[in-house]
Protein backbone atom coordinates (compact mmCIF):
# COMPACT_ATOMS: atom_id res chain seq x y z
CA UNK A 1 0.00 0.00 0.00
CA UNK A 2 3.04 2.25 0.13
CA UNK A 3 2.72 2.59 -3.65
CA UNK A 4 -0.81 4.10 -3.42
CA UNK A 5 -1.17 7.89 -3.70
CA UNK A 6 -3.35 9.45 -0.96
CA UNK A 7 -5.99 10.47 -3.54
CA UNK A 8 -5.64 7.39 -5.77
CA UNK A 9 -8.84 6.12 -7.39
CA UNK A 10 -9.60 2.43 -7.87
CA UNK A 11 -12.45 1.68 -10.26
CA UNK A 12 -13.60 -1.56 -11.83
CA UNK A 13 -16.08 -1.54 -14.68
CA UNK A 14 -18.52 0.87 -13.03
CA UNK A 15 -17.61 3.95 -10.99
CA UNK A 16 -21.09 3.93 -9.40
CA UNK A 17 -21.58 1.71 -6.31
CA UNK A 18 -23.80 -1.36 -6.69
CA UNK A 19 -24.88 -3.47 -3.71
CA UNK A 20 -24.90 -6.61 -5.91
CA UNK A 21 -21.25 -6.16 -6.89
CA UNK A 22 -18.70 -5.07 -4.24
CA UNK A 23 -16.22 -4.16 -6.99
CA UNK A 24 -18.45 -1.39 -8.36
CA UNK A 25 -17.82 2.13 -7.15
CA UNK A 26 -14.91 4.51 -6.85
CA UNK A 27 -12.54 3.65 -4.02
CA UNK A 28 -10.12 6.35 -2.85
CA UNK A 29 -6.73 6.23 -1.14
CA UNK A 30 -5.13 3.41 0.82
CA UNK A 31 -8.33 2.43 2.63
CA UNK A 32 -10.18 2.46 -0.69
CA UNK A 33 -7.53 0.21 -2.24
CA UNK A 34 -7.91 -2.27 0.63
CA UNK A 35 -11.69 -2.31 0.18
CA UNK A 36 -11.43 -2.56 -3.63
CA UNK A 37 -9.01 -5.48 -3.67
CA UNK A 38 -10.87 -7.13 -0.78
CA UNK A 39 -13.93 -7.34 -3.06
CA UNK A 40 -12.07 -9.77 -5.29
CA UNK A 41 -12.21 -12.37 -2.51
CA UNK A 42 -16.03 -12.28 -2.64
CA UNK A 43 -16.70 -12.67 -6.36
CA UNK A 44 -14.21 -14.35 -8.67
CA UNK A 45 -12.31 -17.54 -8.02
CA UNK A 46 -9.04 -16.78 -9.80
CA UNK A 47 -8.29 -18.80 -12.88
CA UNK A 48 -6.13 -18.19 -15.93
CA UNK A 49 -4.58 -14.73 -15.66
CA UNK A 50 -1.78 -14.06 -18.11
CA UNK A 51 -1.25 -10.52 -19.39
CA UNK A 52 -1.19 -10.57 -23.19
CA UNK A 53 0.62 -7.26 -23.56
CA UNK A 54 1.33 -3.97 -21.85
CA UNK A 55 2.50 -0.53 -22.87
CA UNK A 56 2.88 2.88 -21.34
CA UNK A 57 4.83 6.00 -20.58
CA UNK A 58 6.41 7.34 -17.42
CA UNK A 59 2.97 8.39 -16.14
CA UNK A 60 0.58 5.90 -17.79
CA UNK A 61 0.35 2.15 -18.23
CA UNK A 62 -2.11 -0.13 -19.96
CA UNK A 63 -2.40 -3.91 -19.94
CA UNK A 64 -4.78 -6.32 -21.60
CA UNK A 65 -5.66 -10.00 -21.65
CA UNK A 66 -8.54 -12.52 -21.87
CA UNK A 67 -8.87 -14.21 -18.46
CA UNK A 68 -10.95 -17.16 -17.34
CA UNK A 69 -12.29 -17.09 -13.79
CA UNK A 70 -15.15 -18.78 -11.96
CA UNK A 71 -17.83 -16.73 -10.22
CA UNK A 72 -18.02 -18.03 -6.65
CA UNK A 73 -21.75 -17.33 -6.16
CA UNK A 74 -22.94 -19.39 -9.14
CA UNK A 75 -19.96 -21.63 -9.87
CA UNK A 76 -20.00 -20.57 -13.53
CA UNK A 77 -17.02 -19.71 -15.71
CA UNK A 78 -16.48 -16.09 -16.62
CA UNK A 79 -14.43 -15.32 -19.74
CA UNK A 80 -13.97 -11.73 -20.86
CA UNK A 81 -11.57 -9.46 -22.62
CA UNK A 82 -10.02 -7.22 -19.96
CA UNK A 83 -7.99 -4.01 -19.99
CA UNK A 84 -6.37 -2.03 -17.20
CA UNK A 85 -5.43 1.64 -17.37
CA UNK A 86 -3.19 3.11 -14.67
CA UNK A 87 -1.83 6.56 -13.95
CA UNK A 88 1.28 7.11 -11.86
CA UNK A 89 1.70 10.17 -9.63
CA UNK A 90 5.12 10.76 -8.06
CA UNK A 91 5.95 7.06 -8.32
CA UNK A 92 2.64 5.93 -6.79
CA UNK A 93 -0.58 4.58 -8.25
CA UNK A 94 -2.95 7.48 -8.91
CA UNK A 95 -5.55 5.62 -10.97
CA UNK A 96 -6.31 1.92 -11.36
CA UNK A 97 -9.28 1.44 -13.68
CA UNK A 98 -10.12 -1.81 -15.39
CA UNK A 99 -12.63 -2.66 -18.08
CA UNK A 100 -14.23 -6.01 -18.90
CA UNK A 101 -17.40 -7.52 -20.34
CA UNK A 102 -19.97 -6.70 -17.66
CA UNK A 103 -22.73 -8.62 -19.48
CA UNK A 104 -20.64 -11.80 -19.45
CA UNK A 105 -19.99 -11.28 -15.75
CA UNK A 106 -23.69 -10.70 -15.00
CA UNK A 107 -24.58 -13.87 -16.91
CA UNK A 108 -22.01 -15.85 -14.94
CA UNK A 109 -23.47 -14.57 -11.64
CA UNK A 110 -26.92 -16.07 -12.33
Q: Which residues does 11 contact at the CB level (< 8 Å), separation at least 6?
A: 25, 26, 27, 95, 96, 97, 98
pTM score of the predicted model: 0.87
The residue that leads in pLDDT, 37 or 20, is 37
* Assigned CATH class of 4-108: alpha beta
Assess contact for 94 and 5: CB atoms under 8 A.
yes
> Taking the alpha carbons of 93, 2, 14, 82 in that order, is the dihedral positive or negative?
positive
Residue 43 has pLDDT above 80, yes or no: no
Domain extents in the chain: 4-108
* Beta-ladder partners of 10: 27, 96
For the chain, give the mean pLDDT.
91
What mean pLDDT is predicted for residues 59-70?
92
Residue 88 has pLDDT above 80, yes or no: yes
What is each CA distance from 55 to 48, 52, 66, 93, in whole angstroms?
A: 21, 11, 16, 16
Residue 47 confidence (pLDDT): 84
Amino acid sequence: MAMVAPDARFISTNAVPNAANPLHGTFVGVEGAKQFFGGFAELPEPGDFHVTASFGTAMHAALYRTPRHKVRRAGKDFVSDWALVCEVEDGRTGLYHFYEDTEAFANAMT
